[in-house]
Structure 1
Amino acid sequence: MIYVLCAILFASMVTCYDQDYCFASEENPYLMYGTKTAYEFVHEKPRNPEAVPYCRPVQFWMLTRHGTRFPEKKAIYSMQHLPDLRDQIINNHERRRKGRLCSEDLENLRKWTLSVFQNQAKELANQGYDDLKFMARRFKSQFPTLLNQTYSQDLYEFRFTDSERTKASAIAFAEGLFGRSSGIYFPAAVKNDTLLKAYDNCPKWKEEVGNTNKTLEEKHLFQMGPQMQALLQNVSERLGFGYKLTFVQLDEMYDMCRFDKAWNVRNISPWCAVFSKEELHLMEYREDLEYYYRTGYGNEINVKLGCPTVKDLINRFSQMENQNLHDRIQPAGIFYFSHSAALHMTLARLGIAKDREHLTHNNYNTMKSREWRTSKIGPFASNLAAVLFKCDEGDRHRVIFYLGEHLVRFDGCNVGLCSWSYIKDKFSNIAEDCNLDFCYKDRSGTQQHLSISWLTVAAFVFTAFCRQTFI
């Protein structure tokens, strides 16, 4: 009963809100669009060169998601329905006198054209190239003694997955550091890469997490709930329809809204006018639920799959710590280009962005300040960077972590500055015990869901929700 009353209140508030609202003139739009958030809106702003007293940076390690890309083929095909839907919305307003979009928002929809094609599917967009190029320049200005050097294959290592968008992201990042045509060595992508795509080489994950409807259970239950049902009703009425649109149509509009904004960060995305700010919060949480269970803390398998990258980080810094004059020169920069799943799993293994309680379909109202927010931990070009410092006083080596260029404040560290011995002790067992043997045995499932019968949501399992957009 309480849920129903909340839904009624939410619907009435949105209706009143619509009367005077015009997205086109919104000075402070909500730009947190989950995994399709533009990096431009969430990264930390440039800072002065990092100064740690009596210390100098000696190694930079980074794992990053590719930059802004185009949708997968299935999504592009689905978006081809939008011109007809747009025409219906305009007809609803102008001929049927239904709908509540302001004239400016309606005119922006009228001018909108679909400008993405099948041959662009999953490729890096121009904005995606800029994401990585300018990120590199910011890191370079922050750590000039480490990253502002002439390129050498011994000093800088690049590695990416077997996809166009991660390779293009690596090229863009290298340009930001060294300029164009710098003779950068980019090794061929590793087949069956268990470092940067451990999840894709783990049968247990594919069978029990990645390709299962069970993973989407909390998302579907949230979708069935009063808040999302009220959202669907409100959007349908706002656009002038006398019936409820489908969630497939809702997703088409939402995806166009956020992709459009990610490609053109300075322009208004006309389809975002479809949603109120509170509705965008709800859509964001709906996607957070999916990724929490598909690639995050909601399943212990995901946490285990974060160990290869954590092991690599610990081993790299340990080798640098123990380097002597007769050893092979250790690289100053190690740069990995992968996908959101790899980054999310790494964060989970490190305990970053972990909430006190699990995200579920019925705790949206108490999780508004959650740590697991894909808009911040998994937007386009999201990244985790770690910098090892060698010091002349106090701890011999220290470490700073950055997530999206923001300081990561680990417990036990001083405002983000950590003793390397503390970090090494904290994660040494993970590095030493890391292997993927579990991927090939005991496929019984370890999902940390509440005990809810899947039968209650079976009717809501649509293939549209099974798009593997987590990469």
Structure 2
Amino acid sequence: MAIPLAVLTLTLFSSLLPSSSSVGGSFDVRHHLSTVTRYDAGKEANVAVYQPPAVPDGCTPFHLNLVARHGTRAPTKKRIQELDRLAIRLESLLSEAKQAGRSIPSWLSGWKSPWKGRKRGGELVTRASASAVAFGIGLFSGKGSLGPGRHRAFSVISESRASDIWLRFHDNCETYKQYRKSQEPAVGKLKEPILDEVTSALVKRYHLNFTRQDIASLWFLCKQEASLLQITDQACGLFSASEVSLLEWTDDLEVFLLKGYGNSINYHMGIPLLKDIHQSIEQAIAAREENLTPGTFEKARLRFAHAETVIPFICLLGLFLEEHEFEKIQHDKPLDHPPKPPQGRNWRGSTIAPFAGNSMLVSFHCPGNDSNGIITPEGYRSKYFVQVLHNEVPVPMPGCGNKEFCPLEVFKAFMASKKSIIVVTLLVLFSVDVTSSSRSLGNGFQDEKYRCSFLVDDCKTDADCYKPCHYKPWGVPVVGHCIRNPNGGYSFQVDSSQCDYGGSCRTKEDCYDQCEAKYGYSRELTACIPDFVVPEYGSICCCRRASPSKQ
């Protein structure tokens, strides 16, 4: 099915300010539903004492990047069927209890799933597109001339899940899909002790012969009732506060292992999204420097997708880590599991990716007194800064010394310094003159015979996404990956560990000169390569390191 996600590109900047809310000391299950938490409940549960510093005087926002999850949704068809089975199971348990003369919670008598009889689940609704449309309607309400609400027309750009490497990369990376499939049984095993502990407690409490599967289904029902129906005294009422906290932790652990920091492949896939954000910032700066007419250039790029998009993006930014863990992910080292209750933890699904959860990168212009920018306490002089907000609240950036207001140069250096995960995406034309030897298809992509599928061994379909493959422009294999081009066909992507990089280049001679001067590499082991993902960047000089061993 097409259109699982959407990107809404606007030419109007909307300032999204953090809202304040307080929560009482009593336990509220609606704050503990992991990624099934409603947006407002998640914000209430995570009001921090920390107050971010004010934006420096004279700084004005000029561009916004948004990566947002869709809003609340109904259970999927598979989950609806699970609840139907739960209803049958509860009926059997209640029959046994009545025969034994036991008292039971009143709501259980005659309970039926609220979604009983529904043939379609949440997976058939284009959730991200619907969220993009709803956001646009709210944003432009009263700003146009359409209808009584004075709406304004806008467009939503959608991609098919089959080819989207920016927001639906988890559907396009075969290696990740294989990893997830292999790890799901192990994750289930990690959750079993908690489920068994809670099962034993509920059997003693209610004298009903619950099984582990019963408890898992009742916990799922609790989350759906509390999040979608605002019902907290039925399924949720079966559990104590400590049991809810443990069940929430099992969900957070699953998210950590299969979507988050648990394995670097979970977020390595999001590199094209990070590059797209970098590109949009550079384009916005260029438009500002060229004094383009307002309304002719982009001021916000709004992306609406899924938790599988938002969570990897958060990991790429290094957010919500425990102390000292940022250094570990910089070197691709494994992290410990999130601390188990009653210990506190930063990794909480209700904070990281509730329904409608979002991360924003706001670009600021800070001209300073002399129009040459402002000087930060660390001694940086910059005219442009980036601020990260999560769920509309400014957050410190580990890659910027835990500062909330990051000089653009430092932010760009942070992205470029992540050598263990950043890969420079390249075409296969290491030794082919693009202008004379191939027919351009636009956006930097070349004719079929020069694509990865023609030149690279065993790398022919999108099922080979991020599968190691070889290309031999210098007579030795260069290890990289094959990825699908948005415009069709496939291209070779060199692992960043294969090259040291010079600056931009226009010809091979430019690159030869750079590599010899900077690294002393021979002229035969260098190339000027067009950037595949962001053609506007031009070409980059790749200075080959020592030849890898043949595989």
Compute the TM-score of the two structures, normalised by the length of structure 2: 0.60
Deviation at 1:342, TM superposition (A): 1.1
Distance (whole Å) between structure 2 residues aligned to residue 216 and residue 197 of structure 1:
24
Distance (whole Å) between structure 2 residues aligned to residue 239 and residue 348 of structure 1:
41
Distance (whole Å) between structure 2 residues aligned to residue 211 and residue 320 of structure 1:
40
Aligned to 2:237: 273
Deviation at 1:80, TM superposition (A): 0.8
8 Å CA contact 1:384–1:403 kept in 2: the answer is yes
Aligned to 2:396: 409
- 1:121 and 1:269, CA in 2 relative to 1: closer, same or farther beyond 3 A? farther
Q: Counterpart of 1:364 in structure 2: which amino acid?
A: K
Aligned to 2:132: 170
Deviation at 1:405, TM superposition (A): 1.9
- 1:228 and 1:432, CA in 2 relative to 1: closer, same or farther beyond 3 A? closer
The answer to which structure has the higher helix fraction is 1
Aligned to 2:228: 263
Of 306, 309, 318, the match for 1:342: 309
Aligned to 1:358: 335
Distance (whole Å) between structure 2 residues aligned to residue 378 and residue 315 of structure 1:
25
8 Å CA contact 2:267–2:315 kept in 1: the answer is yes
For each residue in 1:132-167, what CA deviation from the matched residue of structure 2 results, as whole angstroms up to 9, or x when unmatched?
xxxxxxxxxxxxxxxxxxxxxxxxxxxxxxx61111
- 1:78 and 1:185, CA in 2 relative to 1: closer, same or farther beyond 3 A? same
Aligned to 2:67: 63
Q: Counterpart of 2:153 in structure 1: which amino acid?
A: G
Of 75, 80, 86, the match for 1:82: 86
1:187 aligns with 2:157: yes
Distance (whole Å) between structure 2 residues aligned to residue 218 and residue 187 of structure 1:
36
SS in 2 for 1:358: coil
The answer to which structure has the higher strand fraction is 2
SS in 2 for 1:400: strand
For each residue in 1:356-393, what CA deviation from the matched residue of structure 2 results, as whole angstroms up to 9, or x when unmatched?
373449x5258x32222112112211111111111122
8 Å CA contact 1:296–1:303 kept in 2: the answer is yes
Distance (whole Å) between structure 1 residues aligned to residue 336 and residue 118 of structure 2:
35
Deviation at 1:79, TM superposition (A): 0.3
Alignment of 1:388-467 (within 5 A): 388-393=363-368, 394=374, 395-411=382-398, 412=400, 416-429=404-417, 433-435=423-425, 439-442=465-468
Q: Counterpart of 1:238 in structure 2: which amino acid?
A: R
For each residue in 1:210-235, what CA deviation from the matched residue of structure 2 results, as whole angstroms up to 9, or x when unmatched?
222x2442441341x3x442211112
Aligned to 1:10: none
Runs of 4+ with >6 A deviation: none
For each residue in 1:55-84, what CA deviation from the matched residue of structure 2 results, as whole angstroms up to 9, or x when unmatched?
111011111111111111111011013334
1:252 aligns with 2:217: yes
Aligned to 1:29: 28
SS in 2 for 1:354: coil
Aligned to 1:145: none
Aligned to 1:122: 122
8 Å CA contact 2:245–2:341 kept in 1: the answer is no
Distance (whole Å) between structure 2 residues aligned to residue 97 and residue 359 of structure 1:
48
Alignment length (residue pairs): 365
Deviation at 1:325, TM superposition (A): 2.8
Distance (whole Å) between structure 1 residues aligned to residue 247 and residue 297 of structure 2:
45
Distance (whole Å) between structure 1 residues aligned to residue 121 and residue 341 of structure 2:
36
Deviates more, 1:306-315 or 1:192-201: 306-315
SS in 1 for 2:68: strand
8 Å CA contact 1:218–1:360 kept in 2: the answer is no
- 1:90 and 1:60, CA in 2 relative to 1: closer, same or farther beyond 3 A? same
Distance (whole Å) between structure 1 residues aligned to residue 187 and residue 422 of structure 2:
34
Distance (whole Å) between structure 1 residues aligned to residue 40 and residue 102 of structure 2:
36
SS in 1 for 2:159: coil
- 1:370 and 1:36, CA in 2 relative to 1: closer, same or farther beyond 3 A? same
Deviation at 1:195, TM superposition (A): 0.4
Q: Counterpart of 1:347 in structure 2: which amino acid?
A: I
8 Å CA contact 1:219–1:289 kept in 2: the answer is no
Aligned to 1:221: 190
Deviation at 1:237, TM superposition (A): 2.7
Distance (whole Å) between structure 1 residues aligned to residue 164 and residue 363 of structure 2:
26
- 1:288 and 1:414, CA in 2 relative to 1: closer, same or farther beyond 3 A? closer
Deviation at 1:54, TM superposition (A): 0.8
8 Å CA contact 2:246–2:341 kept in 1: the answer is no
8 Å CA contact 2:29–2:236 kept in 1: the answer is no
For each residue in 1:160-202, what CA deviation from the matched residue of structure 2 results, as whole angstroms up to 9, or x when unmatched?
xxx6111111111111201265222123434410000112101
Q: Which runs of 5+ in 2 are unaligned?
A: 1-24, 142-148, 326-333, 369-373, 375-381, 427-458, 470-551
1:290 aligns with 2:254: yes
Q: Counterpart of 1:376 in structure 2: which amino acid?
A: T
- 1:435 and 1:370, CA in 2 relative to 1: closer, same or farther beyond 3 A? farther
- 1:440 and 1:81, CA in 2 relative to 1: closer, same or farther beyond 3 A? same
- 1:302 and 1:39, CA in 2 relative to 1: closer, same or farther beyond 3 A? same
Distance (whole Å) between structure 2 residues aligned to residue 391 and residue 332 of structure 1:
17
Aligned to 2:170: 199
8 Å CA contact 1:308–1:434 kept in 2: the answer is no
Deviation at 1:299, TM superposition (A): 1.0
8 Å CA contact 1:413–1:419 kept in 2: the answer is no
Higher relative contact order (CA 8 A, sep 6+): 1
SS in 1 for 2:157: coil
- 1:166 and 1:435, CA in 2 relative to 1: closer, same or farther beyond 3 A? same
Aligned to 1:42: 42
- 1:345 and 1:90, CA in 2 relative to 1: closer, same or farther beyond 3 A? same
- 1:78 and 1:351, CA in 2 relative to 1: closer, same or farther beyond 3 A? same
Deviation at 1:311, TM superposition (A): 1.3
Distance (whole Å) between structure 1 residues aligned to residue 262 and residue 213 of structure 2:
25
Deviates more, 1:187-196 or 1:390-399: 187-196
Considering only aligned residues, what root-mean-square deviation do their CA atoms show, in Å?
3.2
Aligned to 1:463: none
Q: Which runs of 5+ in 1 are unaligned?
A: 1-25, 125-162, 444-471
Distance (whole Å) between structure 2 residues aligned to residue 435 and residue 197 of structure 1:
18
Alignment of 1:104-119 (within 5 A): 106-110=105-109, 113-116=112-115, 117-119=117-119
Deviation at 1:97, TM superposition (A): 4.4
Distance (whole Å) between structure 2 residues aligned to residue 406 and residue 236 of structure 1:
42
Aligned to 1:8: none
Q: Counterpart of 2:302 in structure 1: which amino acid?
A: F
Distance (whole Å) between structure 1 residues aligned to residue 275 and residue 269 of structure 2:
11
Percent of aligned pairs with the same amino acid: 23
- 1:92 and 1:39, CA in 2 relative to 1: closer, same or farther beyond 3 A? farther
